[in-house]
Amino acid sequence: MDGLPPVDFRAELNAEQYAAVTSPPGPALVLAGAGSGKTRTLTYRVAWLLHQGAKPWDILLLTFTNKSAKEMLERVEDLTGVPRGQFWGGTFHSIGQRILRRNALAAGRSPDFTILDQKESEQLFSEIVKAADGAFIKDKTNPKAAVILDAYSHARNTLRPVAEVISERLDWMKGGPEKLVGFCDAYEAAKKERNVCDFDDLLVLWLRVLENDPAALEHYRRRFQHLLVDEFQDTNRLQSRIIDLLASHHQIMAVGDDAQCIYTWRGADWENIVAFPSRHPGTLIHTIDTNYRSTPEILAFANEILSHRPRIEGFDRRLKAVRPGGQPPTVFTIGDTSQQAKLIGRKILQLHNEGHPLADIHVLYRAHYQSLELQMELNALGVPFVITSGHKFFDLIHVKDVLAHLRFIQNPQDQVALSRLLCLLPKVGPVAADKITRAAKDIEQAQGRGMVRALRDPAVLKKVPESAKDDFNDLTITLEDMLEGIEAARQKPAPTNPAADLFTAARDRSEEKVARTPAETTRVCIEGWYGSHLKTLFPDWKDREQDLTGLIGFAAKFEELGDLVAQVVLLNGESSDKKPEPDQDMLRLTTIHQSKGLEFPIVFLLGVADGLLPLTRAIEDGDVEEERRLFYVACTRAENMLYLFAPRFAVSGEGYRPLDPCRFLEEMSPDCYELADYAHRRL
């Protein structure tokens, strides 16, 4: 292209980056380690292509987020003066949408199709199920639309048979997958009839156009003479099939880090990167291993993590440091997860007193619930923090739902809690909830049986909508069960408040009841109606179930249900009152997944133990390699200091649960970190 300002590629890139940027025509795979300048490389590649005579409209740039595409093209504009609007760049979905508009007919839509958001897709799917089989919706043991749709989406993104994925993902459901596959087919027909696309269609139909319309395929092959793909390790099968078709001319550069693929649960297939050279013969593999982010000590630790993963031919590499030496990563062994929270709190204050801004410190964890004790400790210490990966623990919907059970059992006059529970039932909104509550109050006053048992009265059941009756029955059985355990506990040693429970005290003389602690009561709740409700309602119910197990651990700290409930309210009040001010110095808490691609001066990684990282679920499924990659991603975020915390016990509902040492750490040479043994020290 004429008139471009000169760029000194050699001076602005290191030798590895320069080799990748100036790669000769043909397929190229850039395997770049964490923090080695992948964005920089792709950006300069665009500039290089322009300097070699390519036109902006010859280039298609595919990235993981629209933001990164925008940033990249802004950089190219700065470098070359070519307006960014002249390029095609964006996420797979946004590019798919643009291409579909132009080829809608080949995909069975007309060009003015509209796009359904997630909620609208679920609504449409519910309508389809209702129309096809009214009884299916009513049976509460069947999965809800969102859950079926999630499995269907997974099948489409991984190009696997729908029946197979449904059988695998919904293995708890009774009956075979055929009926659900039928719903999915009907959903497809409805979308076509209404001329709408869901999010996945932007890829699925894009692929269909390329596969079914040879003229369109030829057009786009010629149109995009150069394909550049960032974050290639996170592409799924569907995306890689699209790339393969478009790039059959093999003018493609894919950039990625196989060691950082952490989205396989969403369908990402890191094998795409491994198989790239065989799908694009003559691929030149460039490795960029010079890391500009971390100290040599942190990089040695990160390299050691990777050195123990199964070998992949041609994919071995180690990050090389350019920064001067710093301090080695420290592994703190500590008695239990409660002590871990105390130690982290103490270390953070220490660093802060030494002059490190809180904002420089990020605490990472594998799963939300693991941060619960730390959140409490930080509240107690008055350390301001923000959670950058979603809600605070006690603000999570499912945690709030379980807490509503506990609050209601603790105080049966708590109508807000009861109303929340009733509104979880199908077809019950605030108005119906109010009717049910008033009926129960009448019974309570007439019979003096207490609200929980009054809810079980047939007169109350009459007020419950027909389709909610089964759920209501199960819910109230759970509530009564929870209440009985607490009542028995209250009476056991010396009834602290005998007047409140005269009626049940009389009943208990004839019936043997099991006294339950607050933690056991929480477990009864989770194993009762709410547990099955969770499964049918949330596609990610396994993660949510894990959060709730964390809640049992939290409850284990309390002997009295009243204390537990009060503490939660206090904690929540404190944390939600504290609106972060834009320039307030605050600590950051985040999951490892959300930390991807970012860099922080100081990183604390908690829960480095088998069962926490890797998660028990991954160990049980026999697939811990993604967990190892998560461990690697977490550690490579750190610029200057890396602290790891390895608890030996988890505080759980049953008391202490021993944790095996983290298998990844066990494999590693102890030379790459310092060990600080706090397991035998009192904090």
Residue 683 CB, nearest approach to ligand ATP (Å)? 34
Gap between the Cα atoms of 456 and 446, Å rounded: 14
Q: Based on the shown chain and the rule CB under 5 A, indicate whether residue 182 belongs to the binding site for Mg ion.
A: no
Among 7, 19, 26, 39, binds ligand ATP (CB under 6 A): 39
Q: Which residue of this chain has its Cβ atom nearest to ligand ATP in the complex?
A: 37
Residue 642 CB, nearest approach to Mg ion (Å)? 19
Q: Based on the shown chain and the rule CB under 6 A, indicate whether residue 199 belongs to the binding site for ligand ATP.
A: no
Residue 292 CB, nearest approach to Mg ion (Å)? 12
Q: Based on the shown chain and the rule CB under 6 A, indicate whether residue 43 belongs to the binding site for ligand ATP.
A: no
Closest CA to 403 of 289, 567, 239: 567
Query: Which residue type does 423 have?
Result: C
What does the buried/exposed string (b/e) look like for 292-318 if buried means 16 or more CB atoms within 10 Å of the residue's CB? ebbbbbbbbbbbbbbeebeeeeeeebb
Q: Based on the shown chain and the rule CB under 6 A, indicate whether residue 17 belongs to the binding site for ligand ATP.
A: yes
Element (H, E) at 31: strand 28-32
Q: Based on the shown chain and the rule CB under 6 A, indicate whether residue 523 belongs to the binding site for ligand ATP.
A: no
Strands 655-658 and 361-365, by their bridges, are unpaired
Dihedral Cα 447, 453, 455, 456, nearest 10 deg: -100
Beta bridge partners of 508: none
Among 31, 40, 151, 220, binds ligand ATP (CB under 6 A): 40
Residue reference for tokens 């079926």? 148
Among 9, 292, 315, 656, binds ligand ATP (CB under 6 A): 292
Main-chain dihedrals φ then ψ at residue 53, nearest 5 degrees: 110, -5
Q: Based on the shown chain and the rule CB under 6 A, indicate whether residue 22 belongs to the binding site for ligand ATP.
A: no
Among 45, 109, 280, 293, binds ligand ATP (CB under 6 A): 293
Gap between the Cα atoms of 80 and 83, Å rounded: 9
Residue 662 interacting entry, from ligand ATP, Mg ion, none, C-beta within 5 to 8 Å by type: none
Handedness of CA 571, 336, 644, 631 (dihedral sign): negative
DSSP string, 264-287: GGGTB-THHHHHHHHHSTTPEEEE
What is the Cα 11 distance to its own chain's centre?
A: 40
Beta bridge partners of 69: none
Residue 241 interacting entry, from Mg ion, ligand ATP, none, C-beta within 5 to 8 Å by type: none
> By rule CB under 5 A, what string of x and - marks binding of each residue 592-621 to Mg ion?
-----x------------------------
Closest CA to 592 of 262, 332, 336: 262
Tokens of 47: 């500039």
Query: Which residue type does 355 have?
Result: G
Choose the binding region for ligand ATP from 34-42, 86-94, 118-126, 488-496 (rule: CB under 6 A): 34-42
Q: Based on the shown chain and the rule CB under 6 A, indicate whether residue 234 belongs to the binding site for ligand ATP.
A: no
Residue 154 CB, nearest approach to ligand ATP (Å)? 25
Among 34, 46, 47, 367, binds ligand ATP (CB under 6 A): 34
Strands 655-658 and 638-652, by their bridges, are antiparallel
Residue 14 CB, nearest approach to ligand ATP (Å)? 5
Residue 76 CB, nearest approach to ligand ATP (Å)? 14
Choose the binding region for ligand ATP from 20-28, 30-38, 98-106, 274-282 (rule: CB under 6 A): 30-38
Closest CA to 40 of 5, 67, 72: 72
Q: Based on the shown chain and the rule CB under 5 A, indicate whether residue 465 belongs to the binding site for Mg ion.
A: no
Residue 36 interacting entry, from ligand ATP, Mg ion, none, C-beta within 5 to 8 Å by type: ligand ATP
Gap between the Cα atoms of 680 and 126, Å rounded: 56
Whether residue 308 contacts residue 627, with contact meaning beta carbons closer than 8 Å, is answered with no
Closer to ligand ATP by Cβ: residue 86 or 594: 594
Beta bridge partners of 588: 362, 386
What DSSP designation does 661 have?
A: B
Closer to ligand ATP by Cβ: residue 35 or 96: 35
Closer to ligand ATP by Cβ: residue 564 or 635: 635
Closer to Mg ion by Cβ: residue 239 or 575: 239
Among 20, 27, 36, 348, binds ligand ATP (CB under 6 A): 36
Residue 65 CB, nearest approach to ligand ATP (Å)? 12
Q: Based on the shown chain and the rule CB under 5 A, indicate whether residue 26 belongs to the binding site for Mg ion.
A: no
Whether residue 262 contacts residue 633, with contact meaning beta carbons closer than 8 Å, is answered with yes
Tokens of 192: 């076509």
Among 18, 23, 28, 35, binds ligand ATP (CB under 6 A): 35
Q: Based on the shown chain and the rule CB under 6 A, indicate whether residue 562 belongs to the binding site for ligand ATP.
A: no
Crossing angle for the helix pair 145-158 and 529-537, to the nearest 10 degrees: 40
Choose the binding region for ligand ATP from 35-43, 75-83, 106-114, 368-376 (rule: CB under 6 A): 35-43
Closer to ligand ATP by Cβ: residue 262 or 341: 262
Tokens of 191: 């979308």
Choose the binding region for ligand ATP from 9-17, 141-149, 216-224, 419-427 (rule: CB under 6 A): 9-17
Residue 319 interacting entry, from ligand ATP, Mg ion, none, C-beta within 5 to 8 Å by type: none
Residue 467 interacting entry, from Mg ion, ligand ATP, none, C-beta within 5 to 8 Å by type: none
Closer to Mg ion by Cβ: residue 36 or 476: 36
Strands 290-291 and 28-32, by their bridges, are unpaired
Count of H helices and E strands in the chain? 32, 18
What DSSP designation does 106 have?
A: G
Residue 359 CB, nearest approach to ligand ATP (Å)? 17
Footprint on residues 588-647 left by ligand ATP (CB under 6 A): 597
Residue 463 CB, nearest approach to ligand ATP (Å)? 56
Choose the binding region for ligand ATP from 38-46, 312-320, 353-361, 642-650 (rule: CB under 6 A): 38-46
Q: Integer distance in angstroms from the first to the last C-alpha of the chain?
A: 67
Strands 196-197 and 290-291, by their bridges, are unpaired
Choose the binding region for ligand ATP from 32-40, 135-143, 432-440, 649-657 (rule: CB under 6 A): 32-40
Residue 91 interacting entry, from Mg ion, ligand ATP, none, C-beta within 5 to 8 Å by type: none
Q: Based on the shown chain and the rule CB under 6 A, indicate whether residue 235 belongs to the binding site for ligand ATP.
A: no
Q: Based on the shown chain and the rule CB under 6 A, indicate whether residue 229 belongs to the binding site for ligand ATP.
A: no
DSSP string, 539-553: TTHHHHHHHHHHHHH
Residue 71 CB, nearest approach to ligand ATP (Å)? 10
SS (H, E, C) 141-181: CCCCHHHHHHHHHHHHHHCCCHHHHHHHHCCCCCCCCHHHH
- Interacting residues with Mg ion (CB under 5 A): 597
- Interacting residues with ligand ATP (CB under 6 A): 13-14, 17, 32, 34-40, 257, 260, 292-293, 597
